[in-house]
Amino acid sequence: MNASTTLVYDGSFNGFLTAVFVAFDEKINVADIQKNNQSQNGLFSETETIFTHVDKAKRVWNGIRNKSHNAISNIYFAFLSETEGVEMMLYTYIQKLMRAKNGKYLDYSDSTVLFIAQLARKVGREKHRMEAFVRFQLTKDNIYFANIEPDFDVLPLISKHFRDRYADQKWLIYDVKRKYGIYYDLDHVEMVSLNLKDIHHNKTVKSDAFATEEYEYQTLWNDYFKSTNIASRINPKLHTQHVPKRYWKYLSEKKEAV
Amino acid sequence: MNFDRIREKLNILADAAKYDISCASSGSDRTNKNKGLGNASKMGICHSYTPDGRCVSLLKILLTNHCIFDCAYCVTRKSNDVPRAAFKVQEVVDLTINFYRRNYIEGLFLSSGIFKSPDHTMERLVAVAKKLREEENFNGYIHLKSIPGASDELMYEAGLYADRLSVNIEVPTISGLKLLAPDKKHEDFTKPMEKVKNEIVRYQSERKIIKNTPKYAPSGQSTQMIVGASGESDKDIMYSATYYYKTYNMKRVYYSGYVPVTHDSRLPAIGSQVPMLRENRLYQTDWLLRFYGFSIGELLNKQHPNLDMDVDPKLSWALRNLHHFPVDINKGDKRLLARIPGIGMQSVDKIMKARKFRKLNWDHLKKIGVALNRAQYFVVCDSNQWERRDLDAERIKGMILQNSYGKFRDQYSTQLSLFN
Ligand code: SF4
């Protein structure tokens, strides 16, 4: 058995796919795949730094997609969960997939396959939640601005939804936790990083960065939310099941409850 | 925008609209056109939830709560002493657009009290939708209420801009309608339904030939019935529902437990409990009829004019029909599997797939998501353990109830204690 190697990549999805390419191509006995800012030297393995190579990444992407559409989206979603050690799980998953005669019939009684599928489902749920719970606030320079702090790195996944829907307004969705955002300038969406002095949660304090009518619309929305309630049907348990408390700070209709 | 005035109107007109419980924003295929604003999400999105757990996806308001009619069950009725207000067309447009741009909503659900005449009212509703589509290039979801008695021409126009249209039948029986809504005739409801149905049929057949036929109510039509206002039986309700599904191709029928809003000797008193458990049982029945292959006469008939409150309608049917059971999980056809208590349609599909590879036992069924506490009395599978005792329906029901924690258990047990 040849000595095992730890592959270190730049943290991007393309970087990860490149690592997979290199591992297959050079028949490396992979000990681990690590992000360069978190890499620890394994006691008994060598490290090899992977340089992200879009063409190589594409070949892996296409190879997997030709096997199974479902698998490629599972892999991408699970990767964005940023779960520690997910890279190695994904690598094993890809190996199994490539060996399987028919990608469609991946065996869900296999623990890796099940784990990745479950992880992907969790990320998918977070994606849907963000599509629902993003609350834009209109800034003075006419940009619809929203903060999010999702459990997983879902900005790349929600970009298309917002671009398709809000095609005629400038918008910016900023991930406070991961310190980057996506900005749509009426033409295309780009990644941006900002230095936000002040995180614009839906705080009760008003910020003068926002248009004057912004707070009026928030008040109207809060009023509206209150009036949808039918007191004789109240059911708090069902309510928090749908809107978990950790999301409340973004929702202007929940301002008073935070 | 005169903020204070709008705020006042919104409070009045949202409050009056909340008793309409349909909130669906799904089923439309409208896409964003010419880089405009919005699109419809096939699945619908809930942007928030009310404190009673209902989805908030649309701005649901009345254009006005002035009304010339006096339907007993309605807060908006003429004789009720409540503050009145009316939006201008442009005000509704502005609210919708501004809420939509902030990602609060999927679109607008606009209804209205009837002022002057049905046509006059319908015309205004159509004007709002038209403005949204043509001036604002808005492609989000629009649900318009068809005003009972509105003309065919207006109903036609409404469908050109709206994704969904609905007339709420509200009272499931014609006798109840006479008693509670004396100003309205049954035909006032059915005429717009008929028109909308015909236009949808026309649109769907033309679209097959000409790809860019203008859309007509792509998300179909729906209706709502109030439950527990006029002493109707579950059988009355579900037979009318079936009639509306069949006759007018309804996408959905909604059942809304009556919330007492008024002192009126014809109606339950203010403070009476909203029949939420009953509402839930009706939805379950609706589901069984639409997706599980049951026919209405099997679930409700002369001998059983009302649904059981303590068990769900499928279990109730199974208990009355023990001669169909046990079903062999590994052999029974799809139609039969769907009739087993504790097995949902998703599980049926999974069972059909999985049993191609291997014979299924209790463990497999559990993993698939079958509710064994109910199903175990009605199936055999690849195991030598199954219910061998010859239990009668009462015993089975007792054992199932002992081990179940339904979401309405509390309500049910307080209802029970009332009878003790
Ligand atoms: S016509 Fe409509 S708004 Fe007017 S009282 Fe009857 S149900 Fe209410």
pLDDT of B47-57, one tens digit each? 888 777 778 88
pLDDT of residue B414: 40
* Six token digits for residue A38: 């978190």
Q: Whose alpha carbon is nearest atom 1 of ligand 1? A: B69
Torsions phi, psi of A117, nearest 5? -65, -40
Q: Give me the residue spans of the domains in chain B.
A: 3-222, 313-419
Output the pLDDT for position B420: 29
For the record, the structure tokens of B98 come out as: 């501004």
- B72 CB neighbour count, 10 Å cutoff: 20
Q: Which residues pair with B328 in a beta bridge?
A: B380
A68: Cα separation from own chain's centroid: 21
B67 lines ligand 1 (CB under 6 A): yes
- Outline where chain A has alpha helix (H): 13-25, 54-67, 69-79, 86-99, 111-133, 155-165, 212-227, 236-242
- pLDDT at residue A188, as a whole number: 92
CB A103, CB A40: distance < 8 Å: no
Answer yes or no: are the C-beta atoms of B28 and B57 closer than 8 Å.
no
> Contact B57/B45 with Cβ under 8 angstroms?
yes
Report the DSSP beta bridge partners of residue A8: A34, A49
Q: How far is the CA of B281 from the centre of ligand 1 (A)?
A: 27
Positions in chain A short of pLDDT 50: 1, 258
pLDDT given for residue B272 in this prediction: 73
Asked if B18 and A234 touch (Cβ cutoff 8 Å), the reply is no
What are residue A191's DSSP bridge partners?
A: A182
**Test site for ligand 1: of B79, B110, B114, most ligand atoms within 8 A of the Cβ:** B114
Give the residue with greater pLDDT, B151 vs B21.
B151
> Helix A155-165 to helix A111-133 angle, to the nearest 10 degrees?
40
pLDDT given at position A98: 86
pLDDT of residue A40: 67
Residue B351 CB neighbour total at 10 angstroms: 22
Mean pLDDT of chain B: 87
Q: Closest to B59 (Cβ–Cβ): which among A144, A216, A224?
A: A224
Q: How far is B87 from chain A (nearest CA, A)?
A: 14
Q: For B3-222, CATH number?
A: 3.20.20
**In this predicted model, what pLDDT tens digit does every residue of B239-286 receive, in sequence order?**
999 999 999 989 999 998 888 877 777 888 777 777 888 888 999 999
